[in-house]
Structure 1
Amino acid sequence: MGSDTNSASTESPGHRKGRTWERLRREPVTSLARVGPKIADGLAGLGIETIEDLLHHFPRDYIDRTTLLLIRDLPLGEEVTFTATVDKVSLRKPRPRLSLLEVDVSDSSGRIRLTWFNQPYRQRHFKVGEEFAISGKAEVFRGRIQISSPSYEKIEGESGIGTSLEVGRIVPVYPASAEISSALLRRLCWEALDRAGAFAESLTPAERNALKVQERTFAINAIHFPESMQDRTAARRRLVVDELMRTQLALGTKRRAYEAESKAIAHVDRAALLTSLIDSLPYPLTAAQQRVIAEIGESMRAPVPMHRMLQGEVGSGKTVVAAASLCIAVAGGHQGALMAPTEVLAEQHYYGLAPLLGEIGVRVKLLTGSTRDRQRVLAAVGRGEVDVLIGTHALVQEGVAFASLGLAVIDEQHRFGVHQRVHLRGQGADGLVPDMLIMTATPIPRTLAITIYGDLDVSTLDETPPGRSPVKTLWIRPDARDKAYEQIKKEIDAGGRAFVVCPLVEESSKLEAAAAEEEFRRLTEGPLAGIGVGLLHGRMRSADKEAAMAAFRSGETPVLVATTVIEVGVDVPEATVMMIESAERFGLSQLHQLRGRIGRGARLGVCYLVSEAESEDALARIKAVCSTSDGFELAEKDLELRGEGSLFGARQAGRTDLRLTSLLGDFPLIVKVREFANELLERDPDLDAHPVLKEESDRLVSGEVSWLEFG
């Protein structure tokens, strides 16, 4: 295992010299000498089945044991390494079911005792007169210096300590399990690297210099067994570049293929309908809305299918942007579809957009699982007599056929599967592919957007329309609920509305509904007796949900006890107070989404987070939500708190290819690699001159990683 650098390299990635990941993916881990059926089962539990899996099982930490000390110089309480000779081995039982192994060792400067509890098998490892390299933390016990449960390795022959994987070097520490120890993983990785030899290089020397990275062979060896921490840092940088390069090339290749294969609708520039919509609004568009509508219009007029994400703060005006986009499609003689994840949200979109669009002559219909005149609506859609169809997943069920779908708007796309979006993509006339606009109220950190959503154009609404009021967020303990109830009564007397959100029960929607029903009874019989209280949860019939929302909007029941069914899109401007019970059970972004249901009118909003949270994570989430109402700031905080893999949503599978990359810490490198990958595809679109990169990015494009699907 060498430490190759760039200086002496003249190879080109056009030649496949060395081992490729594809080849190592075909080689089972059982080909290693130490791996029999039992160890193979244990490795499988860690997700390791091939040599590629093993070498991508990177260390989680390192222990520097490169400095050898004399026993007399050992500092207390610090990780140390020294060599010593065994003087005495003693195994005794201080009491039943407790064994104590004591090994006295010495060097020219002094003596120290090594101890192990309940590990009698280690006695056979030590014989008087043998020399060992030992690592651990020295401590004083009953006036004597000792080390409890140290790492050790016998020094044999002339090779001495140089061949040790445990001491006298920087030792990798791997994610392990009860069956597979970190020490075993060290030995397996050493053997695999020794057998693998050189790795196929994917970048030319000039490209490595531009990216400031070392050769791949050096990087793979040094990430597992670095000779210095500087080597480890250099190795990590190269492997992060490799991870990002595969992802960015896969995204770019997929997008280029999609655009080349798809016949797009180049929407005509007829601004009259859009102008009528904007003129009919009771308020001016924000600068952000104007900018985003212009971006969408430009994409829709282009000869390639639009595939754009519209992300915006809660209450940033995404619905108006969606309406404007639909007008662009309708003005050119096509139809539009808006698909929402719940009936509540679909109906809200309908009741908000139908009058707005109807006023300028756009024909709008609603289609959900509860639509009674379904066949009549479907027939009108098929004849082109409906300009915009709003609905739930019912839009993609059998029997729904558009005359000419020009734009599909998908709200909260992470709640839909790829096949549902693909179905809408096939609804254009004459084989033309409709444009796709994906809306999300969950702010996506820029790091995540360009890494995982690099195949999308991203438009951001980063301004709040006038008329929105700030929301004050307060954390209260359960015994302070009366304060919140008084605020609710005060707001209701002033014509306001209040939400009481019940705890999230991930295991069961039935339990969640039961919790909401219990809270409803408690409030109506107790603190809010005499006030109209409604109930809304996911297990209610559609007609009952509609009735509950209508009563809440009208003020007949100014308090609504609800589950997270209200998390997305519910728009009642009079709502000014929210109580979120057991707030520690909700994620940071969920708390922010829920809070966004209030303060949508002129009155100040107050959100109470009711929690007796004690855990550090829960407290961090609650304090973060109380400290800011900026969703993008909270998204970055969420990324930091929860770890990056947890935020990939519908593209969760993509996380497996980003093992070393930190979306926060590596952001400058992410930007650099994205630019490099785009430039590379411009000059070598089929990657003919980069066969190793092509093989690796093709693996992602092939469909193994579902988040690369368009739609």
Structure 2
Amino acid sequence: REIRDDMKKDSPMNRLLQGDVGSGKTIVALICMMMSVENGYQGALMAPTEILAEQHYLTIHKFLEELGIKVVLLVGAQRKSERQEVLRCIKEGEAEIVVGTHALIQEGVEFKQLGLVVVDEQHRFGVMQRATLIEKGLTPDVLVMTATPIPRTLSLTLYGDLDFSIIDELPPGRKPIKTHWRSDKKRSEIYKFVKEKVEAGAQVYIVFPLIEESEKIDLKAAIENYENLKEGIFSNFSVGLLHGRMKSADKEEVMSQFKAGEIQILVSTTVIEVGVDVPNATIMVVENAERFGLPQMHQLRGRVGRGEKESYCFLIATYPISREAKTRLSTLAETNDGFKIAEVDLQIRGPGEFFGTRQHGLPELRIADIVKDTELLLKARDEAFDLARRNKEILNTENMPNRVQFFKNYRDKMELSRVG
């Protein structure tokens, strides 16, 4: 209802939808895009990976095919002829709902009348990437969805420029994931537990870090660990490997085998962070967990606990680790709540430059603390909105200095504040 009311307003919507994985965010987005289509506009949904984009496309297409609403998929791996046809449909307005990856923001993608932009797992996109998609429409409504708001988004929520809706219920029968933080000295005990669970029919993810700055080294380590696990402790099981450098067809084959239960243990990099839904996968082991950020670990953990069975997440840290890493790991072990996790992330990393492109870091506030002074900031927010509603008063002599100073400092940055 909150989103529907926003979409009815003359001013464009700028709203955050927060809900844990599997809570129904995609269905909400689908309903919103249908509202946009019914009013003569196109809807676009941007996802961070081809796996997730294809999953969204199949889900949405299945629901809307019989209603005569044309849904198209735009991803980087498409053949040139297929891509050209999709681009034509988007430009001429035949495509009413467009699902895609970063391919949506490339040059040559033109919408006839884009009315709603939905960004899924928005912490995976940079501010400028989100801004580029929004600019493809004329002041479209914006809905950003996430299981863990990143600091900049959370700070915009507190300041008031980004409204938010929360889906705070899990589907019936869903149990909270039991999360344990252990040192690497306990690895053999954890793998023994994993072995017992796999023998009982469970499926498992084992995730290794892949950081951009050390991608080649990390990928090599992940492959070596896959070989060791396959030939060692898990030699009696079917073990698969998945990483971002594999061809799309190979990734799809591995995921199909895992979904079908043909692969019992999937060794992976963070490519499975989003878009993978295997209800029988009930155990997640994250190696070198101290190297992951809070939003990323929360997303990874969300790959399990998608069925009715008890699910576990083991965070294995290689010591020594920093104080910040300890805070991140203990937070994951203590809560499954995405907003609480984001609040801790906010304290650790800072909210980011308010109108700018940084996702985290020290804010521009000179006195106030966005976490400690929340109540004061909310009062300031209400005052600012009240002043804006009394539009004529902004032009009064009394308020002119505030207006002049504001536009002097923020004129060029105002558009980025809408991106979320």
What is the TM-score normalised by the length of structure 2? 0.88
Structure-2 change in CA distance of 1:387 and 1:587 (3 Å): same
Q: Distance in 2 between matches of 1:482 and 1:381?
A: 53
Match of 2:311?
605
Q: What is the CA-CA distance between 1:504 and the residue it aligns to?
A: 4.6
- Pair member with larger Rg: 1
Does residue 471 (structure 1) correspond to residue 188 (structure 2)? The answer is: no
Secondary structure at the counterpart of residue 144 of structure 2: strand
* Partner residue, 1:304: 11
Equivalence for 1:406: 115
Structure 2 counterpart of 1:675, one-letter code: D
Pick one of 90, 96, 100 that aligns with 1:391. Answer: 100
> Deviation of residue 447 (structure 1)?
6.7
Given the alignment, which residue of 6, 21, 24 partners 1:317?
A: 24
User: Paired residue for 2:288?
Assistant: 582
Q: 2:190 aligns with which of 475, 480, 484?
A: 484
Post-superposition offset of 1:645: 4.2
Which amino acid is 1:365 matched to? V
1:434 aligns with 2:175: no
Q: Indicate the larger mover: 361-370 or 574-583.
A: 361-370
Partner residue, 2:272: 566
Q: Answer whether contact 2:18 2:165 (CA < 8 A) is retained.
A: yes
Q: Structure 2: 5+ residue runs without aligned partners? A: none
SS in 2 for 1:333: coil
1:693 aligns with 2:402: yes
Q: Deviations over 1:313-361 (max 9, x none)?
A: 2332211111111111222333221111222221222233322333544
Equivalence map 1:42-441=2 (5 Å): 294-372=1-79, 373-428=82-137, 432-441=138-147
Q: Is the contact between residue 206 and residue 287 of structure 2 (CA under 8 Å) also seen in structure 1? A: yes
Deviation of 1:421 after TM superposition, in Å, equals 3.8
Whether contact under 8 Å (1:703, 1:709) holds in the other structure is no
Quote the Cα distance in structure 2 between the aligned partners of 1:541 and 1:337. Answer: 26
Residues of 2 paired with 1:474 and 1:654: CA distance? 29
The 2-side partners of 1:353 and 1:385 are apart by: 16
RMSD (CA atoms)? 2.8
**1:668 and 2:379 matched:** no
Deviation of 1:576 (Å): 0.6
In the other structure, the counterpart of 2:366 is 659
- Which digits, 9 at most, give the CA deviation of each residue in 1:148-176, with x for residues without a partner? xxxxxxxxxxxxxxxxxxxxxxxxxxxxx
Structure 1, residues 501-553: CA drift from partner, whole Å, max 9, x if none? 10353522222222221121111111111322222222222222222222222
After TM superposition, give the deviation of residue 666 of structure 1 in Å. 1.0
Alignment deviations for residues 654-680 of structure 1 (CA, whole Å, 9 cap, x no partner): 944223321221112111111122223
5+ residue gaps in structure 1? 1-293
- Residue 633 of structure 1 aligns with an amino acid whose one-letter code is K
The answer to which structure, 1 or 2, has the higher relative contact order (CA under 8 A, 6+ apart) is 2
Which string of whole-angstrom CA distances, capped at 9 and with x for unpartnered residues, describes residues 649-705 of structure 1?
Answer: 954489442233212211121111111222233342346423332233213432257
Distance 1:315 1:355 in 2: 18
Q: How many percent identity over aligned positions?
A: 47
Deviations 1:438-466 (A, max 9, x none): 112214689724345x3222222222222
Q: Secondary structure at the match of 1:657?
A: coil
Distance in 2 (CA, whole Å) between partners of 1:575 and 1:416 is 27
Q: CA deviation at 1:579?
A: 0.4
Structure 1 pair 317–561 and aligned structure 2 pair: CA distance change class (3 A): same
Give the match's secondary structure for 1:508.
helix
* Alignment check: 8 A CA contact 2:42 2:93 kept: yes
Secondary structure of the 2:213 match is coil
Q: Structure 1's 680 and 597: CA in aligned 2 closer, same or farther, altered over 3 A?
A: same
